[in-house]
């Protein structure tokens, strides 16, 4: 009895895909070889000859490994991006932005800081204090999914990236569509908005995400230098 699974696993040992994908590929190819072998046995071939003929299904295992890697590369990339960036990022965004209206409903009063003349900035201090926690959560979920350093940081600060995108896309669009917005918006007001909705929340999220990213960098370094 041939162990086709073990054979395929050893031949595709260097296949650079995630463990789950590799298991699927190995199981599928081993199943195929097994069926070829069984069919040849049914036709009356000896075990040895049937195994030899089944093995002829692949003449160059390295080439097969290369072709599978090429085919699976994009899938892996997309899958990893979802697990390591989009999911933790959106989780951070939903939790952090969802909390603010809840706090407002509970009677949260913003701290008003006078900025420049009539301009004022609103700081929702209790909400800002929770942001390091969400930043750390997003970074941790990304870390657990095997995310690289950049994905860990981006997942942690994802809410402000979305807000920044809104600012720099929606605001210029609104100005083009409605000239009165440009008339009412001053530079000081715009900078105030940037400070209260992007810079300060971003810093708060970063405070939470940075230690996780440093932890990841330390782990990666210790793995690179096992003797150190």
In the complex, the residues that contact other proteins under the rule CB under 8 A are 24-25, 27-29, 31-33, 35-36, 56-60, 63-64, 67-68, 70-72, 74-75
Nearer to other proteins, 29 or 141 (CB): 29
Minimum distance from CB of 24 to other proteins (Å)?
7
Q: How far is the CB of 190 from other proteins (least distance, A)?
A: 43
- Report the nearest approach of other proteins to the CB of residue 180 (Å): 46
Cα dihedral value 21, 25, 27, 30, nearest 10: -160
Cβ within 8 Å of residue 163, ≥6 positions away: 197, 198, 201
Which C-beta is closer to other proteins: that of 79 or that of 171?
79
Cα R_g (the chain), whole angstroms = 28
- For other proteins, give the closer residue by CB, 39 or 178: 39
Name which of 56 and 184 has its Cβ closer to other proteins.
Answer: 56
Q: By three-state DSSP, how is residue 113 classified? A: strand
Q: Helical H runs in the chain? A: 4-11, 19-42, 47-55, 61-81, 87-105, 125-144, 149-156, 158-177, 179-184, 187-194, 200-224
Q: Least distance in Å: CB of 18 to other proteins?
A: 14
**Contact indicator for 37, 2 with CB cutoff of 8 Å:** yes
């Amino acid at each position: 009895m041939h162990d086709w699974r073990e054979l395929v696993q050893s031949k595709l040992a260097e296949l650079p895909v995630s463990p789950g994908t590799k298991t699927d590929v190995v199981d599928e190819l081993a199943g195929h070889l097994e069926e070829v072998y069984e069919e040849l046995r049914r036709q009356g071939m000896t075990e040895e000859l049937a195994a030899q003929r089944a093995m002829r299904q692949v003449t160059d295992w390295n080439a097969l490994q290369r072709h599978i890697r090429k085919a699976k590369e994009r899938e892996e990339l997309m899958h990893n991006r979802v697990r390591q960036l989009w999911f933790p990022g959106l989780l951070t965004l939903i939790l952090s932005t969802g909390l603010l209206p809840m706090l407002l409903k509970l009677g949260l009063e913003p701290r008003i800081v006078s900025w420049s003349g009539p301009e004022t900035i609103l700081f929702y201090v209790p909400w800002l204090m929770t942001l390091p926690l969400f930043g750390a959560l997003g970074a941790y979920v990304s870390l657990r999914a095997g995310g690289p350093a950049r994905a860990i940081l981006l997942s942690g600060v994802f809410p402000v990236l979305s807000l920044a995108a809104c600012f720099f896309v929606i605001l210029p669009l609104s100005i083009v569509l409605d000239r009165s917005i440009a008339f009412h918006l001053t530079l000081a007001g715009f900078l105030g908005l940037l400070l209260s909705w992007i810079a300060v929340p971003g810093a708060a999220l970063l405070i939470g995400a940075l230690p996780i990213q440093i932890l990841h960098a330390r782990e990666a370094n210790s793995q690179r230098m096992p003797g150190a």
